[in-house]
Amino acid sequence: METCKQEVLHRSECQETVMNAKKTRGEFIRWFEEITIDDIALVGGKNASLGEMYRELTPEGILVPNGFAITAEAYHAYLAKTGVDQQ
């Protein structure tokens, strides 16, 4: 049971670190309105396509819900913080 508590605490600390970094640097989340198809390396193909759809179709009156993407940088920061990248 103690191991589970430590795991939950560790996860919580990592999430807090990622959120603090996001707030200060703004590198970890991109809104679809900011994303183009050229951002595939940053947010992946599906998110880049969703961003492109939002940016191109919304001004034409086609309803596309806005959303956000977690960047590859956020993923790599989480791996580094948790030590998973060293395994």
The predicted structure's pLDDT at residue 48: 97
Q: Is the pLDDT of residue 67 over 90?
A: yes
Domains of the chain: total:
1
What distance in Å separates the CA atoms of residue 71 and residue 35, rounded to the nearest whole number?
Answer: 11
> What pLDDT, on a 0 to 100 scale, did the predictor assign at position 30?
94
What is the average pLDDT value for the chain, to the nearest integer?
A: 82
State which residues form the domain around 32.
2-86
- Does 14 or 85 have the greater pLDDT score? 85
Q: What pLDDT is stored for residue 69 in this prediction?
A: 96
Alpha carbon separation from 47 to 23, 43, 44, 57, 79 (Å, rounded)? 21, 6, 6, 15, 20
To the nearest whole percent, how much of the chain has pLDDT over 70? 70
3 pLDDT higher than 60: no
